[in-house]
Amino acid sequence: MDQKPALIFLRFGGAKKSSFEMSPLELKQAAASILSRAKEKAFSKGRPIYFGEGSKVLAEYPDGHIEEVKAQ
């Protein structure tokens, strides 16, 4: 039986206003905060975070190394 990795979900919210009302600087700060919380939560459980860059899907691991995720 194949086991799928457990997903980690961040709770919605935390911003004082809607992203539609944010300035470009506020959006950049909110994105950095979300990324920081995602890393903290995933890395504390020994799991990577996944993100896209161009047409590639990459995984960043708790030890800091990044590798491309190959399609199966």
Residue 61 is predicted with a pLDDT of 96
- Whether 43 is covered by a domain: the verdict is yes
Q: What angle do CA 60, 58, 34 make, to 5 degrees?
A: 60
Written as one letter, the residue type at 42 is A
Q: Is residue 12 part of a domain?
A: no
Tell which residue, 48, 52, 39, has the closest CA to residue 10: 39
Residue 43 has a pLDDT of: 95
Average pLDDT over residues 11-27: 78
Give a yes or no: residue 10 inside a domain: no
Q: Is residue 15 part of a domain?
A: no
28-67 pLDDT, tens digit each: 888 888 888 889 999 999 999 998 999 999 999 999 999 9
Based on the structure, what is the number of domains in the chain? 1
In a domain, 41, yes or no: yes
Residue 47 lies in a domain: yes
Check whether 72 has a pLDDT greater than 80: no
Where does the pLDDT of residue 8 fall: very low under 50, low under 70, confident under 90, or very high at 90 and above? low
